[in-house]
Chains A and B, each alone.
Chain A
Amino acid sequence: MNGDLDLRQRFEELRDAERSGVPPFRASRQRRPHSSSWRWMPVTVAALLLIVSLSVVFSMRSRRASFTSDDRIAAHAIADWHPPTEFLLRTPGSELLTSMPSIPDGAVRSLVQSSKGVSR
Chain B
Amino acid sequence: MSYERTLRSTNIDDRAMDRAELEQQLQANHAASFAWTLACCDRDRDDAEDVLQTVYVKVLDGKARFEGRAAFRTWLFAVIRRTAAAHRRTRWLRRLRFVQDDTDHADGHESAERQLVRSERVAALLRSLARLARRQREILELVFYHDMTIEQAGQTLGISIGSARVHYQRGKKRLYALLGEGER
Q: B101 interface residue, CB < 8 Å from A?
A: yes
Interface members, chain A 1-50 (any B CB < 8 Å)? 3-4, 7-8, 10-11, 13-15, 17-23, 25, 28-29, 31-34, 36-37, 40, 44
The CA of A32 and the CA of B46, in the complex, are separated in Å by 12
Interface members, chain B 92-124 (any A CB < 8 Å)? 93-94, 97-98, 101, 112, 115-116, 118-119, 121-122, 124
Shortest Cβ distance from B172 into A: residue = A7
Within the complex, the shortest CB–CB distance from B153 to chain A, in Å, comes to 13
Q: B53 interface residue, CB < 8 Å from A?
A: yes
Contacts of A21 in B (CB 8 A): 45, 112, 115
Q: B86 interface residue, CB < 8 Å from A?
A: no
Count of chain A residues with a beta carbon within 8 Å of a chain B beta carbon = 27
Within the complex, the shortest CB–CB distance from B41 to chain A, in Å, comes to 12
**A25-B27, A33-B53 as given contacts; A11 in contact with B145, CB under 8 Å:** yes
User: Which of B53, B121, B145 is within 8 Å of A29, CB to CB?
Assistant: B53
Shortest Cβ distance from B60 into A: residue = A29
The CA of A60 and the CA of B74, in the complex, are separated in Å by 55
Shortest Cβ distance from A31 into B: residue = B53
Interface members, chain B 48-90 (any A CB < 8 Å)? 49-50, 52-54, 56
Cβ-defined contact, A33 with B54, below 8 A: yes
Cβ-defined contact, A32 with B53, below 8 A: yes
Contacts of A37 in B (CB 8 A): 50, 94
**A10-B125, A13-B119, A34-B94 as given contacts; A22 in contact with B50, CB under 8 Å:** no
Cβ-defined contact, B115 with A28, below 8 A: no
Cβ-defined contact, B31 with A14, below 8 A: no
Q: B35 interface residue, CB < 8 Å from A?
A: yes
The CA of A13 and the CA of B52, in the complex, are separated in Å by 23
Contacts of B23 in A (CB 8 A): 29
Given A11-B145, A21-B45, A36-B97, 7 other A-B residues pairs in contact with their CB atoms under 8 A: A7-B140, A10-B179, A19-B31, A22-B31, A29-B26, A33-B54, A34-B50
